[in-house]
Amino acid sequence: MSDPFSILELRRESGARARRLRRWRLSLVIGALLLVVLGLAGVAFIAPPFVKRQLEHRLADALHREATIRDLHLNPFDLSMTVDGLAINDRDGRLLFGCERLYVKFGLGSFFSGQWIFKEISLMAPVARLEIGRDGALNIADLLAPSAENYAAPGKPGPIRIGRLTVAQARFTFDDYSHAQDFSTELGPLDFSLEDFSTVPVAP
């Protein structure tokens, strides 16, 4: 006949081991979550200056014009980026394109689908300027002309999907100095939005 005291003691030890195992697992989960949160927080506070410099540098290289950003914020928790005070100056130093705020919220599918998926893109107070000079040349003619770099680029950019595109208080300026009498006009402010915009080809 089994000793009831021995059985009770075994049950107590088994229960204590189970409780210690649960506490250990809980501590492991909490530690892992804490590391993830601290890592994402580090991205939010440490990465923006680096991303800001890289974005300015890449824009300047691609457009052959000065590009500046006043401030940039990253939110890794919802995969969004906010750019304040974006300005791209033309070769004469005048503003070519700028906006007070650009907000981009990325879709998680961008990392797996081979597409550029954005849940939301919004532009606040964007301004753009086109100019025809005295010689009849358009100020962005170099950006429209095909280049050797474009021909050498491997493949094509992936399809783009935008859940919601919003533009508020947009202004567009056009100047023409190629005639005897100068001509200038401005359109805006304009507001518009698009839903479910996509460049994915539709099957027939």
Query: From first to last of its 204 residues, what are the pLDDT tens digits of the chain?
Result: 455 556 555 566 666 666 666 666 665 666 555 555 545 555 555 678 888 999 999 999 999 999 999 999 988 888 899 999 999 999 989 999 999 999 999 887 766 767 788 999 999 999 999 999 999 999 999 888 765 454 444 455 568 889 999 999 999 999 999 999 999 999 989 999 999 988 876 655
174 phi, psi to nearest 5 deg? -130, 125
Q: Could you tell me if 124 and 85 are in contact, meaning their C-beta atoms sit under 8 angstroms apart? A: no
- Which contiguous run of DSSP H or E holds residue 176? strand 160-176
- 196: Cβ–Cβ under 8 A, 6 or more apart, which residues? 161, 162, 163
Rounded to whole angstroms, the Cα distance separating 23 from 92 reads 67
Q: Could you tell me if 48 and 80 are in contact, meaning their C-beta atoms sit under 8 angstroms apart? A: no
Paired with 97 in beta bridges are 88, 128
